[in-house]
């Protein structure tokens, strides 16, 4: 077992829950991860995270989606991307220098998406420029709600996996 995984296992229940909440805000997912401890490896953490996520339902997915900031007005949109880039640079870096026209379109179509589906647009943004995310947003508006829940849940799974990877890698430095 690596020092990083040992450090994750050594977290108190409260510390562990808070660390997991930074990865995914689904309560049942966090509870499942808590029960899955101790972990044998970083791969074991990822496998358990995926297994638990796959066993959840729409209410759990929606709870996780609500943990993401919503693309809002243009001023807060730029601030949001800068703040997330500072916290998770690789996740949102592609949106930092997006032109206003792209940001305005993201705002408009995200509002339309939320009205259509009842939750915000979820995409694993790592390495994607804002224009690419906009293209995915517009394309996914054509889906029915059931399809979109499945796609958004898969995207949330990717986001969670990346955040878990970063969490484990950073653990010894935080002790």
Instruction: Return d(Cα 94, Cα 174) in angstroms, integer.
Output: 27
* In contact, 63 and 27? CB cutoff 8 Å: yes
Residue listed under structure tokens 């690596």: 2
> What would the two tokens of residue 23 be?
């990865």
Of 28, 43, 152, 133, which is closest to residue 91 (Cα–Cα)?
133
Q: Let me know if 68 is a catalytic residue.
A: yes
Classified as helix, coil or strand, 95 is: helix
Instruction: Return d(Cα 47, Cα 37) in angstroms, integer.
Output: 12
Instruction: Return d(Cα 104, Cα 101) in angstroms, integer.
Output: 5
The interaxial angle of helices 100-117 and 145-170, nearest 10 deg, is 120
Neighbours of 24 (CB within 10 A): 25
Catalytic residue among 44, 68, 80, 116: 68
Catalytic residue positions? 68
């Amino acid at each position: 077992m690596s020092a990083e995984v040992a450090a994750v296992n050594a977290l108190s229940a409260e510390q562990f829950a808070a660390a997991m909440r930074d990865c995914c805000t689904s309560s049942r997912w966090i509870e499942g991860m808590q029960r899955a401890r101790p972990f044998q490896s970083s791969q074991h953490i990822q496998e358990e995270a995926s297994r638990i996520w796959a066993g959840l339902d729409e209410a759990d997915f929606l709870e996780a989606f609500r943990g993401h900031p919503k693309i809002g007005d243009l001023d807060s949109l730029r601030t949001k991307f800068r703040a997330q880039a500072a916290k998770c640079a690789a996740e949102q870096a592609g949106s930092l220098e997006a032109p206003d026209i792209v940001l305005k379109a993201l705002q408009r179509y995200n509002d339309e998406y939320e009205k259509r589906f009842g939750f915000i647009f979820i995409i694993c943004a790592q390495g994607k420029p804002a224009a690419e995310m906009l293209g995915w947003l517009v394309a996914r508006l054509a889906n029915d709600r059931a399809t979109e829940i499945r796609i958004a849940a898969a995207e949330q799974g990717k986001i969670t996996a990346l955040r878990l990877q970063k969490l484990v890698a950073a653990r010894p430095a935080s002790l």
